[in-house]
Structures are given as C-alpha cells and as structure tokens.
Chain A
Amino acid sequence: MIRSVRRLAVVLGVLMFALLANLTYLQYFAAADMRAQPGNSRVLLEEYSRERGPILLGSTAIASSIPTQDQLKYLRQYSAGPLYAPATGFYSVVYGATGIERTENAVLAGSDDRFFVDRVQQLFAGRGVRGGAVRLTLNPAAQRAAYDGLAGRTGAVVAIDPRTGAILAMVSSPSFDPNKLSGHDAGAIRDAYDAYNSDPAKPMLNRPLAMTLPPGSTFKLVTAAAALETGRYQAITVVPGPASLKLPNTSKELNNWSGTACGPGGKTTFEDALAISCNTAFASIGLDVGADALRTQAEKFGFGTSFEVPLRAAASRFPADPDLPQTAMSAIGQFDVSATALQMAMVGAGIGDNGQVMSPYLVAQTLSPELAVLQNAEPTSFAQAMSPANSATLLAMMVGVVDHGTGSNARISGVSVGGKTGTAQTAPGQAPHAWFVGVAPADRPGSAEVAVAVVLQNGGGAAEVSGNKLAAPIAQAVMRAVLGR
C-alpha cells in the first residue's frame, strides 16, 4: 500500500502544481488583462485611494488631491479651474482623464517605473503609494492676462518662450470648470458634462491646440519669410500694390481692405506692404514665389505637424495643390489655409529666435512625491525655418507693423514690439476672425522673450483694423505680463 500512497501523493502534488501555475498565470501574466476589463471597479478605487500628485506652476498647485471620508479616498481639486482647464484637463470617475491629467497620469498616479525605489521605500514606511508632481511651463501672470483679455469672447491665446519653446500661456475662452467633472458624485458629473457638451459655445473645446481657423493676414509672415528665403526680396524691394489685383485665369479680383492702392502708382516697398498688410502685394508675392515654396516655408514653421506638448495639438494646414488664384489667396492666409493659435505663436517665436523654431512643450519638470526632480524638459529645435539674417529682416519689418503700421495697439512703452495683425474672412455674413501675432522684445535679433498669438473666433468687425482693435491689446497685455512691464 505504501507504493500506491506515494503515487497518490504525486497525483496530489501535480494538482497542487496546477493550482500554483494557474494562480501564477492569473496574478502575474493575466493581471493586466483583468485590470483592463470594463467591469473591474478596483482599478478606479485604487487610483482614487492614492494621493495623486499635484500639477504645479512654480510652487503653487493648480491641481491637487485632498483626502475625503468616502470610498474614493481623495478628491481632485483645481484652484483656478477654468483658467487652467485647457492645460490640466479634468480627472473624472465617469469620463476618465483629459489634458495633463491624462498624458502625465503615470507620474501623477505614482505608477511610473521611475518611482519603483520610491514605492519600495513607501512600502517599508507603511505609507500608501503617492503620486509624483508635474510642473508646467505656464506663466501665471501671462495666463491671467490672456484669460481676462478673452473674457466674454470666443477665442484662444498661446504664448511661447521663443528661446525654448516653453508654453507660457494657453487659454481657451469660454472655458469649463474641471472641478465640476472631477467630483465623486457621478450624477452631478454627468449633469455638468452634458451641460458643457450641449453648450453651443463649446466650453470643453481646447481652442489653443485644437481649433484651426484661417490665419488671415498673420500668414503674411510665412509668405514674407518664403519671399526673403528666395534671396530675391529685401525690406526695401519695390513690390506691386494696386488697389485690386486680377487673379490669374479668372475674372475675379482681389481687393485691398481699404479699397485703395498700397502706395503711389500702385507700388510699395516690401516692408511697407507688411506694415499696412497690403493684400494685393502679398498675393502677387505669393504668386511670385509659388505654392511649393509657400508650403515648404509653412511646414518649416510647423504646419502639417501634429505637436504633442504632450497634449496633442491639431496640425495646421496649407493646401496641397492650389491653382494660381488659390495660391494667391493662400498667400494672404485665406482659402484652405488654417492654423491653430499654437502654430501662429510658433511662427512669431521662430522669427524672434533667429529663424529657429523650437518644439513647443508644456511640462517643465516631473518630480517625485518628495519633489525631487525626475526629469527636466529638454528644449529641442523643430526646424531652422529661415536664415538668421532673413529672420532679422523680418523681425524688423514686424516692428514696423507695430510702430507705424496696423498693429499700433500692441505697443509697449520702453519695449520694442514686433507684430502682425490678421482679419480672416469666414463665410459670408459672419464676422471675421481677428488675429494678432506678437513678439517682444524685438530691438535686436534673438532677444525675444515671448511670442504670442491671439485669435478671436468670429470676433472682429468688418475691417482689417479688427486684428489691431480686438486682438492686439490682448497680445500686448500677455507680453507685458511675461516681460514684467
């Protein structure tokens, strides 16, 4: 009988092995699949049982987790909800996370691999896992200036540090309050979400990154850059500037806003054409350099690329294969040209930084729960959009726009400011979009500390002046906030 008992012991051993193998599969290999099951409420409970790390501006938390008494142990709070909503996004039990809350979740939730040592320490210290912190590049004063400037209007502002690509301001108006979507009451969250979603003003749309609109005359900066890069244009080059330009192969005519010629005898200089935003001049320059050169130049500034800042921005667009009239219209930022506020700020930034376009970014630092630096942002060059000499010429031309051209409302006393207004026509009967792209200080090449783009959706009046009247003051306020003037 001893032999058969031994054999049964082996059989029981095999059964035991099967149990252990199955548990190993279940708890190790299949664990990730189980966590991904929609019915698994543990993942959410675990996430909410941890102290999620804050989102910081400097040393101020704009998003932080505070302990509560209910089953979800921490509540996410946004100290200035709508102001920073386009950057922070929300962190919702019902709708998941958006914005930085989503893209930087691994750090904020403490699940990032770099926290392994930290987690082990916390394990032995008997504390729960805490999340790390994320520090943003936003400048609170600039953000506030842009938000206040947009108050009551529909639009977006993006400000960039031309030297690094750091995003200093990123504002959407109207905005939403992420606190209303990040509570613990699922019913209230659904109500708030539905209300925001059905609002025709689309408060949850991330306009600075996601809204592409025709850039209008601000695109003349790209056309000017393309012209300078051909080597055939200088600031004082004489260009045609008639009251109206007959578009090739059509019977249509392109008119200046003023209805008059841009200079005596229907001629003007290149720099004056930019200063007074002469449509006919830039349409003929566009025809002269050609669609391919325009597109190449636009792409060097970032058109056609979907940047991740790390929030994904929409790609701005230059039409693929325009005919001659379309090329002429594209050269002045109409037809199928469309750009985000981020993109137009990058155009300003490139001109302000010796022609070098930096990749935009929003996260300055990631930090451990003890606020030790895990990673600093490393500014990277996206492209050399134009030669430093040409960029210096264009920057000086932009200063002319503000000093004695259409952008007078962007002037800051004691600071040399470069800029370009834009008023983009939309569908007939709708107000045009008012744009302004600014860069300062612009007294010498490479000295710029801020580039800003402002767009007011259907915000302008009927005339070219609306970019200056509506958008330029906001850009000026943002630049002053950054420069501390």
Chain B
Amino acid sequence: MSAGILTAPAPVPRYRQPTRRWTEAGLLVAAYAVGAAAYIQVDLAMLGKLATDTVPVLSVIAALLLLVHGAIRLLARWADPILVPAVATLNILGLAMIHRLDLAEIQRANRNGGVAPPPDVYSQLTWTALGIVLFIVVLVAVRDHRTLQRYTYTAMFLGLVLLLLPLAPIVGATVNGATLWVRFGGLSFQPGELAKILLTIFFAGYLTVTRDSLALVRTRVLGVGLPRGRDLGPLFVAWFVSLGVLVFERDLGTSLLFFGLFVALLYVATQRRSWLVLGAVLFITGAVLAYLSFGHVRLRVDVWLHPFADEADTSYQIAQSLYGFASGGMFGSGLGQGYPQLVPYAKSDFIVSAFGEELGLIGLMAMLVLYGVIVERGLRTAIACRDVFGTLLAAGLSISLGLQVFVVVGGVSRLIPLTGLTTPFLAQGGSSLVANWIAIGLLMRISDSARRPDAEAVALEDAPTQVVSL
C-alpha cells in the first residue's frame, strides 16, 4: 500500500454510463407493491376489511417514495439504484408490522373492555417522513462527501457528546435498564444512533490522515506484524470509550458496534491484520472483564445460555421470542395470523421475531437478504469510490449497518446474547429510523460521486485540502 497511497485510485473505464434511475423507479414500485400488500394483508387477516386509515397511510407512503425518488433524480442522479428501494421495502414492512401489532392491542382492549393505546404506526410514519426529509437534506447540504472530512474532529466531539448525553443529569433517562435516552419535554431520543454516524465520519477522517503511520510495522510477534506502541493509543481510546458505554450506560449493543466498527475501519485503512488480532484480544479481554465485574452482563449471558431456566422472569422475553420463531416455522403463520403480540417489545427490539413468526423462515430470510443487499451495495460503493475518505466512510456506514443487523437478529434468535440495539428501518423508534435514513443519504452521496462519469466529476484538484492532522 505504500506505493498505492501516493497515486489516485485506478481510473474506472469510461463509457456512456446509464444513471439507472428508471431501474430505481421500477424497484421502488416493486417495494411499494410488497409493502402495501403486506399492509393490506394485515387488515384483511385481522379485520376482514381495510382499516379506515389504511388508504391514507398507504397514500402518504406512496407520496414519500415519489418525493425521495424525485429528490434523487435532482440531487444524486448517478447514485446506486438499489439502495433506496431495498431500504424502502424494509421500512414499509416495518410499518405494516407495527400496524399489525397496533391492531392486536386494539382487539385485546376491546376484549377486556379497556382503552386501546393510540396506534404507534402514525408516529413511525411521521419519523419515516422526517427520515426521508433528512435524507434529502443530506443530499442538498453535502454536495460533495469530501467536505465532511473538514469536520473530522467536530464530528468526534459531537459524537462523543451525543454518546455520553444520556448520562447527563436532567435530560438523560434510563429505560429497561439501559441508559440510552435523552428527554426534552415530551420528546425522547436515542442520541447513540446519531453518534454512530458522526463517529463513523470521525473514524473515516482520522484514518485517512493517520493510516500511513498506523500501517507501519515495528515488531513481529509470532509472524504477526505489530504496530508501534504509540500508534496503539487511538485503539485503546476507542476500547475505553466502548467499555465506558457498556459500564455506565449498560448498552451492550452500542458498545459492541462502536468497537467493532473502529477495528474494522482500522483494518480497511491499514490492511494490517494485526489490528484485527489486537482488536479481538481487546474485545475478548473486555468481554471477560465485563462478565466478571457486572451483574447485568452476567445475567444477559446466563439468559442466553439457559433461555428456559427462568421463563417467568428474566428469560421471559427471549423464551417468548424463540417460541415465536419456532411457531412460524418454514412458511410462517401469515401476517395477522400469529401471536407476535405475546413477545414483549414486539414492535421494537423483537420485531424480527414477529416477522419470523408471521412470514416464516422463508420471509425472514428474504428480509435478511435485503439487508445483505444494502450492505453489499454500500461496500461496492466503498470500493468504487475514488478517494480514501469516501471509501472509509462508505465502508464504515455499511459495516455498522451489517454489524447492527447481526447483533440484533443474532440476539433475538439466541445466536449471541441479547443486546439493546434496534433493527434498522424495521423497528419502532424514531432516532434509529432517522439516523439510518441519514446514513443511506450519505451512502447515496458517495455512490453518486463514485458512479459519476469523469466529464461530470468534480475535479479532484478542487477537493478541499486536508488541514487537520495529528
């Protein structure tokens, strides 16, 4: 790599490249068809007819898709045509499942003569709209992703503040044992979701500058080249910060994601496998320390190992989730025909289990493949990107999405211990939805520049000079 970094990435063969916007339009129609069919099926299965608000909700969704597609045509016409349709499919399916669980709550209230809680699908739809607006804002505000590199340390500072904000007095809030929330008046927000993007920007900017020195090999131990001692500093900082998140905010998922992302980007930037080895060693050490020192971590692990041991109490959630998956089997019960409402937090943390039950193994596999497609298109964007910062940023955003899906789905299906992360685009929760749409906006921006033919490309010389260094 020592030679490679001095030259610009190899030029891509130039020919008349299609924008593929009509591909995207077609896929968006397909995404809408799948999502709307799911939404309608929920109504038909549970009510026997359309709910009164279904047509308005589906109209709003159609309008939002038109809006996002129009904005892409205007603002990022060379961008990847598959990312947004894949995201839209998941987003609409999420709305359909939340609607389905709303209906279950209403039916339950009717049975027991109680008052049904207000439907959550409206707020989720509002957050979807906000997410799409912010997606467009990203495309408008960030005309060239390289400008973001200027804000490397601003992003770090803001990211850390957001990450630690839930610990602040007054605004911070603890929900279900995890201190992830910030409350202003009636609004609550999980700042960790936005922090994830800001820290990805920071990692990308920081590693763009420092990757040469981090790639230096000082000593070799057992055939693995180790970095210089002073270059280990940032890794340890990241390790301590993620341990801090785990200890003080009790957020296993964010901690894991944050550290995993940093190590992965270190590897991408330096190509040194020693960073992966070091990262793994630190991760295992941290995990063992956390297990030995903290009751809540131990409990998570115990529940993971013995999900049916304390079914009435600590392992109730995971046991119910597993029953849901098993009950769905190969083909699922069909939307609206299972019992996903038996799983606590079915709309948010356990929404994947709800899909597993009602769409079955086949439906859930299709949805996971959609995530795979999103991550793959993101990594492809990273590879196609012609600048280091863009590559690292696109890779970082994609990897964090992929890791998050793994941690969440693995958690609810008992592959790994349960953590508190949300399922991107599916789960109820505004912060996650908005943050992920912003991340897709950034990926689309990088993709637009990567796929744009030379004639239209912003000249590399115009790129802002890197002014910040260690």
The one of B271, B368, B383 in contact with A19, judged by C-beta atoms closer than 8 angstroms, is B368
Q: For B312, what are the chain A residues with a Cβ–Cβ distance below 8 Å?
A: 39
Chain A, Cβ-Cβ closest to B392: A1
Given the known inter-chain contacts A18-B415, A19-B409, A23-B413, please indicate yes or no for A3 contacting B271, CB distance below 8 A: yes
Contacting pair B375 A31 (CB below 8 A): no
User: From residue B356, how far is it (CB to closest CB) to chain A in Å?
Assistant: 6
Within the assembled complex, what's the spacing in Å between the Cα atoms of A3 and B410? 27
The one of A12, A18, A45, A69 in contact with B402, judged by C-beta atoms closer than 8 angstroms, is A12
Contacting pair B330 A6 (CB below 8 A): no
Which stretch of B89-97, B117-125, B262-270, B445-453 is in the interface? B262-270
Contacting pair A42 B395 (CB below 8 A): no
Q: How many interface residues does A have (CB within 8 Å)?
A: 41
Within the assembled complex, what's the spacing in Å between the Cα atoms of A43 and B375? 37
Q: For B327, what are the chain A residues with a Cβ–Cβ distance below 8 Å?
A: 31, 34-35, 40, 42-43, 46
Given the known inter-chain contacts A8-B395, A28-B361, please indicate yes or no for A22 contacting B329, CB distance below 8 A: no
* A413 is an interface residue with CB less than 8 A from chain B: no
* B308 is an interface residue with CB less than 8 A from chain A: yes
Mark out the residues of chain A between 4 and 52 whose CB falls within 8 Å of any chain B CB in the assembled complex.
4-9, 12-13, 15-16, 18-20, 22-24, 26-28, 30-31, 33-35, 37, 39-43, 45-46
Contacting pair A4 B271 (CB below 8 A): yes
Chain A, Cβ-Cβ closest to B407: A15
* A128 is an interface residue with CB less than 8 A from chain B: yes
Which stretch of B57-65, B149-157, B230-238, B318-326 is in the interface? B318-326
User: From residue B110, how far is it (CB to closest CB) to chain A in Å?
Assistant: 9
Within the assembled complex, what's the spacing in Å between the Cα atoms of A123 and B337? 12
Chain A, Cβ-Cβ closest to B322: A34
Q: For B164, what are the chain A residues with a Cβ–Cβ distance below 8 Å?
A: none
* A2 is an interface residue with CB less than 8 A from chain B: yes
Contacting pair A5 B326 (CB below 8 A): no
Contacting pair A5 B395 (CB below 8 A): yes
Chain A, Cβ-Cβ closest to B326: A34
Contacting pair A23 B364 (CB below 8 A): yes
Chain B interface SS verdict (over half): helix
Q: How many interface residues does B have (CB within 8 Å)?
A: 54
* A113 is an interface residue with CB less than 8 A from chain B: no
Q: For B379, what are the chain A residues with a Cβ–Cβ distance below 8 Å?
A: 5-6, 8-9, 12
User: From residue A25, how far is it (CB to closest CB) to chain B in Å?
Assistant: 9
* A251 is an interface residue with CB less than 8 A from chain B: no
Within the assembled complex, what's the spacing in Å between the Cα atoms of A2 and B5? 12
Q: For A123, what are the chain B residues with a Cβ–Cβ distance below 8 Å?
A: 334
Contacting pair A16 B311 (CB below 8 A): no
* A70 is an interface residue with CB less than 8 A from chain B: yes
User: From residue B392, how far is it (CB to closest CB) to chain A in Å?
Assistant: 8
* A71 is an interface residue with CB less than 8 A from chain B: yes
Contacting pair A30 B326 (CB below 8 A): yes
Chain A, Cβ-Cβ closest to B41: A126
Contacting pair A39 B308 (CB below 8 A): yes
Q: For A23, what are the chain B residues with a Cβ–Cβ distance below 8 Å?
A: 325, 356, 361, 364-365, 368, 409, 413
Chain A, Cβ-Cβ closest to B271: A4
Contacting pair A6 B264 (CB below 8 A): no
The one of A8, A12, A45 in contact with B339, judged by C-beta atoms closer than 8 angstroms, is A45
Most buried by B among A3, A16, A70, A123: A16
Within the assembled complex, what's the spacing in Å between the Cα atoms of A382 and B44? 54
List 11 A-B pairs, Cβ < 8 Å. Answer: A8-B399, A16-B406, A19-B406, A22-B414, A22-B415, A26-B326, A27-B325, A33-B326, A37-B319, A42-B342, A71-B111
Told that A26-B325, A34-B327 touch, could you supply 15 new A-B pairs with CB distance under 8 A? A8-B268, A8-B379, A8-B399, A18-B410, A19-B409, A23-B365, A26-B414, A28-B361, A31-B329, A34-B325, A39-B308, A39-B323, A45-B339, A69-B111, A128-B337
**Residues of chain A having any CB pair with chain B under 8 Å:** 1-9, 12-13, 15-16, 18-20, 22-24, 26-28, 30-31, 33-35, 37, 39-43, 45-46, 69-71, 123, 126, 128
**Residues of chain B having any CB pair with chain A under 8 Å:** 1, 44, 111, 264, 267-269, 271, 308, 311-312, 319, 322-330, 333-334, 337-339, 342, 356, 360-361, 364-365, 368, 371-372, 375-376, 379, 382-383, 388, 391-392, 395, 399, 402-403, 405-406, 409-410, 413-415
